[in-house]
Structure 1
Amino acid sequence: MSFLTRFKKNFGWEFRATRPQYDLDPIIYSKLKPLRLPLILIQLLMMIGTLGYVYLENYTIMQGIFQAAYTLTNTGFGALNESNFKNETIIFTVFLMIAGFSSLIFAVGIVIDVFTNGNLRELLRERRMLFKIARLRKHFVLCYHNEYTAQVARQFRENHIPFVVVDPSDNIEQIAKENGYPYFVKEEPYKEIAFLKSHLSSAKGAISLSKNISDNITLIASVRLYEKELERTPFLIISNAETLNEKIRLKKLGADKVVATPSLMAKRVSAMAISPDMENILDEFLYKKDSPITMEDLLIKDNSWIVGKSLGELNFRDTLKISVIGITEASGVFVQLPNGDKVIKENSKLLIVGSQRGLSRAKRVLNLTNQPKDI
């Protein structure tokens, strides 16, 4: 690695590619191929006209180009020596006028045909969309539009989480307008072309909320295979299931999180019935836009300064204004509401709650190699 590359990396100045992974340019160029013929014809007539005037009237090259240009475009005469044209030149000029008018009509017909009878406009709109998607990082790919997807998208928008919706519906553009999807792709979500168009390689994860379990199974398997091809860290895959049996199957197939919709609804109704105040707290602080309190996972690296220290010793509540309500150790064991004697181990994941400012600062300082002086 060169010094310049290391310098850019250390200061976070790496240049990120913003071109789409799926290139539509060859397809667009193929749609524009019919325009080549009128362009070639006009250039050929310009050359014939220029050389004709040079030969017949002893014009210079620049005068010949000028005379041929306004003759072909039928914009009028009088700038040069038209009043003294020889008969041969007059016949030649009439030929150029008719040829110029005919080529113009021919070109206009081809342009209208290309832009109205083909899908060029759709391709150009899709190309603009793909360039916007290519700028996203750590986004989520939401697969299959339905009422679940629309609700998740609304929550993501309110919490400023970037996402791309992938759905094969022919009217996906209209669906996106009605549901406020800023980025969308019209493809079958499990296909590699959908992964390329949605820039899945730079995404945080994929969410499949289809009511058809086979769609979810296919999507999970395809994403895991694509993940191995990229040789990257695992995607976070979230799916939904209608029954407990489906939930178990999807987890075995590779889903990280599976939401059983009937079970989730039952738990929320139960919480409302048993403890209405707790339900109000969840709605107020965890699900509300711009909430003063939020919750996040934080992975602790093996060289972090907090590794080997206990929660009581670290005293996060006073130093960072956050609370650790759960720890997922590297082995996968989850410790709920750990006490002060709990020691932080390497590669463990802290579930922390606090203000947005506190969480931002915690993410910035807890994985430093050396302990900050102000903590």
Structure 2
Amino acid sequence: MKNRKNLLEFLEKKENSKEDIFLDQALYYELRHFRLPFIITVLTMLIGSLGYILIDNFSLIDAIYQTGITFTTVGFGEIAPISPLGRIFTITLIIVGFAVFTLAVGIVVNVATNGDIIHIFKVRRMLYRIARLKNHFVLYYLNDYTIEIASNLRKNHIPFVVIDPSEGFEERARQLKFPYFLQAEPHTEIAMKRANLGLAKGVITLSEKESDNIALIVSIRLFEKEYRPHQPFQIITSAKSRLSADKLRKLGADSVVLPTALTAQRISTVAVRPDFENLLESFLYSNDTAIDIEEVFVPKYSWVVLQRLKDIKLRTLLNVSIVGIRMKEGSFIPMPKGDTLITAESNLLVIGKIVDLKNVKNIINRTEKPK
């Protein structure tokens, strides 16, 4: 614990002076323990080689070789006749070599058992894996909601990184089989860079403390302003009341979920229409069904812009149905008729087989009508 505390204090000082995203400074800090045995080993080899050259007129190569086999006590014997003074020197070199070897082994064992070098290597490997991610989500604060969201993201093959500052988080993350995780203070810039936030698709913060969510949202928007001003992050969070939800939206959250409201709506739906729950479970929340629903954005250059719904013939092309259109200004058209015009930057709510939905975006993003 004392070594871990000293390491954290050292890292804090280093982070204040220079960013250490991949823990290079931390690794150098731990490797400093090997400097003494390395220097002593080099000096012993140097003194031994010079001794054989001066005492018994060995060549440089023979002196280095004789010093090496004597220093390591491998027992190959003498490569050339050695004088009595040279033998006394050899005995001294053997004793010194044994002492240096014992010291080196003791330091290695001590660092391996009491130090943080193994932990640093594991974290560095994780950081380099995270650095290769793109369009991933960053989940902050471990709780029941985060665990469930991580499970759903994994089932849908969406990459994600989980970050939590609490002690024992790394062990818990391994138990939950999270592919990417970091134990760090979420609102710090160094943690955001280590999570590769610059290439992330969005952020989900679900702390039970409203202050944590507020601090994180503000920090992410500041990070965004400096490193990605033209491509805002999607920030999703939760709130305990509508007043808190409004506050979080004003601070920069894109979506604020009210768990109590969602639970009440679900229970009310089940109470009024019991069969509707089975429908939701089958079509929206189950991964076994072949049917899914997805919202598809219509870019300005798309060939479907200013086309009538019945003319684009998505049902004929892909056997999918458009059950709703969300206009650019925010209005929603449920169950649009065939004469409805599709406008630029609107969102089409499409339902169909998962295989067909994957091709909808490709067709909508084309500039020319497919044959």
1:55-78 CA-to-partner distances (Å, cap 9, x unmatched) read 333333222222111100111132
What corresponds to 2:6 in structure 1? none
The answer as to 2:133 corresponding to 1:128 is no
- Tell me the SS of whatever aligns to 2:256: strand
Q: Residues 49 and 96 of structure 1 are in contact (CA less than 8 Å); yes or no, is this contact kept in structure 2? A: yes
What corresponds to 2:16 in structure 1? none
- Please give the alpha-carbon distance, in whole angstroms, between the structure 1 residues aligned to 2:135 and 2:343: 26
- Tell me the SS of whatever aligns to 1:76: coil
Cα deviation, residue 224, structure 1: 1.3
- Tell me the SS of whatever aligns to 2:121: helix
2:98 to 97, 101, 109: 101
- Please give the alpha-carbon distance, in whole angstroms, between the structure 2 residues aligned to 1:332 and 1:226: 28
What corresponds to 1:152 in structure 2? 149
Cα deviation, residue 290, structure 1: 4.4
Percent of matched pairs sharing the same residue: 43
Q: What amino acid does structure 2 have at the position aligned with 1:162? A: P
Cα deviation, residue 21, structure 1: 8.6
- Please give the alpha-carbon distance, in whole angstroms, between the structure 2 residues aligned to 1:71 and 1:112: 24
Cα deviation, residue 176, structure 1: 0.9
Name the count of aligned residue pairs.
Answer: 352
Q: What amino acid does structure 2 have at the position aligned with 1:257? A: S
Q: What amino acid does structure 1 have at the position aligned with 2:44? A: L
What corresponds to 2:335 in structure 1? 337
1:69-127 CA-to-partner distances (Å, cap 9, x unmatched) read 1100111132512xx31012112111211121111112122222322222222211111
What corresponds to 1:138 in structure 2? 135
- Please give the alpha-carbon distance, in whole angstroms, between the structure 1 residues aligned to 2:224 and 2:331: 25
- Tell me the SS of whatever aligns to 2:333: strand
What corresponds to 2:7 in structure 1? none
What corresponds to 1:356 in structure 2? 354
- Tell me the SS of whatever aligns to 1:354: strand
Following TM superposition, the consecutive aligned residue runs of length 4 or more in structure 1 with deviations greater than 6 angstroms are none
Residues 1-375 of structure 1: pairs in structure 2 closer than 5 A? 22-78=21-77, 80-81=79-80, 84-230=81-227, 231-373=229-371
Q: Residues 21 and 134 of structure 1 are in contact (CA less than 8 Å); yes or no, is this contact kept in structure 2? A: no
- Please give the alpha-carbon distance, in whole angstroms, between the structure 1 residues aligned to 2:370 and 2:361: 13
- Please give the alpha-carbon distance, in whole angstroms, between the structure 1 residues aligned to 2:117 and 2:230: 36
Cα deviation, residue 326, structure 1: 2.7
- Please give the alpha-carbon distance, in whole angstroms, between the structure 2 residues aligned to 1:336 and 1:202: 35
After superposing the two structures, state which structure 1 stretch, 257-266 or 333-342, moved more.
333-342
- Tell me the SS of whatever aligns to 2:44: helix
1:9-55 CA-to-partner distances (Å, cap 9, x unmatched) read xxxxxxxxxxx992211221121012122112212221222232233
Change (3 A) 1:291 1:236: farther
Cα deviation, residue 241, structure 1: 1.2
- Tell me the SS of whatever aligns to 1:210: coil
Q: TM-score normalized by structure 1?
A: 0.88
Cα deviation, residue 171, structure 1: 0.5
After superposing the two structures, state which structure 1 stretch, 362-371 or 330-339, moved more.
330-339
What corresponds to 1:4 in structure 2? none
- Please give the alpha-carbon distance, in whole angstroms, between the structure 2 residues aligned to 1:302 and 1:369: 9
Change (3 A) 1:302 1:209: same
Q: What amino acid does structure 2 have at the position aligned with 1:198? A: A
- Please give the alpha-carbon distance, in whole angstroms, between the structure 2 residues aligned to 1:107 and 1:180: 37
Cα deviation, residue 162, structure 1: 1.4
Q: What amino acid does structure 1 have at the position aligned with 2:257? A: V
Q: Residues 22 and 128 of structure 2 are in contact (CA less than 8 Å); yes or no, is this contact kept in structure 1? A: no
- Please give the alpha-carbon distance, in whole angstroms, between the structure 1 residues aligned to 2:255 and 2:128: 30
Root-mean-square deviation over aligned CA pairs: 1.9
Q: Residues 21 and 196 of structure 1 are in contact (CA less than 8 Å); yes or no, is this contact kept in structure 2? A: no
1:271-308 CA-to-partner distances (Å, cap 9, x unmatched) read 21222222212111211124312222322221111112
- Tell me the SS of whatever aligns to 1:206: strand
- Tell me the SS of whatever aligns to 2:207: coil
1:242-297 CA-to-partner distances (Å, cap 9, x unmatched) read 12222222222221111111110111111212222222121112111243122223
- Tell me the SS of whatever aligns to 2:321: strand
Q: What amino acid does structure 2 have at the position aligned with 1:247? A: A
Q: What amino acid does structure 1 have at the position aligned with 2:31? A: L
Q: TM-score normalized by structure 2?
A: 0.89
- Please give the alpha-carbon distance, in whole angstroms, between the structure 1 residues aligned to 2:328 and 2:95: 81
